[in-house]
Every structure is written in C-alpha cells, then in structure tokens.
Amino acid sequence: MLRVSIASPQETVPIDRARMRRAAQAVLEGEGVTDAEISLAFVDNATSRQLNLRYLQHDEPTDVLSFPLGEGKKGIAGELVIGAEMAQVQAEERGHEIHAELALYVIHGILHLCDYDDKTERDAVAMRERERFYLARLDLPDVAPTD
C-alpha cells in the first residue's frame, strides 16, 4: 500500500495536495515500490534554511530535503521537506507554473528515497532523466534543471 501524507505549515504558497500526492505515487509505482509511507511537508524559507543548516551544514533555504526513515522488501518510509517559497521563486524566474516546480521537488525527493543520488555528474544525469520521465508521465512541462 502506498501512503502519502501532506502537511503545509506555511501560508504563502497554496499547495494542490491531490496533485502532489499523484506525483509521489507516480514515482513510487514507476520505481516498483509496492509499500511506502511518505510524508510531504511544504515549508517556508526560514524552516527550509534551518533544516538545511542543521542536517547539511548549508546556511540557506533549499528546494527539497529527503529523510529516509526505513525500508523493507519493496517498501520505503521517508519524509520530504519541500521549500514552497523556493519553488515559487524558481517558477517565477524560469517562467512556469508553481505546481510543476513543486512536482519536480517531490519527484526529486522520492527518487532520493528510492536510492538515486546526484553527487557525481553521471548520477546527476541519470537522476535528471528519471525526473523528466516522471514529469512527462504526469503531463507536466520539462522543468528539470539542465545542470
């Protein structure tokens, strides 16, 4: 069973919860995950910055942080902390809808929970390909960065 819960303790950016849930489920299903419990938290820049500093020692807001909480046979558990204000700025700067940017962050974060990495150039290219695959599957524009 795929369970996706959503929290949005910020009021600046409206979140289409159904759309974000569909994005998460599309990636989980596409990656062959049959059992998952995922939490999506859409936060403001102050919260994003605080968590990014605490866990990655980067003193700035970020787009998405992935926290794996466990795994089993074909199953995963994890939390994504998504920078809603960061998504709003990026969407405006790049000229597309915010829901596409937020979906990209959800896709990216879930791919991390599914053991994708983007630390090397080769891994980053593979991850971007998967992001584009899921954006297309969700009928969203290709908003993945070109690095």
Q: What pLDDT does 147 receive?
A: 56
User: Residue 81 region, left (φ>0) first, then alpha (ψ -120 to 50), else beta?
Assistant: beta
Whether 67 shows a pLDDT value over 70: the answer reads yes
Extents of the domains making up the chain:
2-137
Residue 26, pLDDT above cutoff 90: yes
pLDDT in tens, 105-147: 999 999 999 999 988 999 999 999 999 999 999 999 998 876 5
Q: Give per-residue burial for 28-39: e unless 16+ CB within 10 Å, then b.
A: bebbebeebbbb
Half-sphere exposure of 72 toward its Cβ, with a 13 Å CA cutoff? 7
Q: In the predicted model, is pLDDT for residue 11 greater than 80?
A: yes
Residue 38's Cβ-side half-sphere holds a number of Cα atoms within 13 Å equal to: 33
Q: Give 60's DSSP letter.
A: S
**2-137: CATH homologous superfamily?**
Metalloproteases ("zincins"), catalytic domain (3.40.390.30)
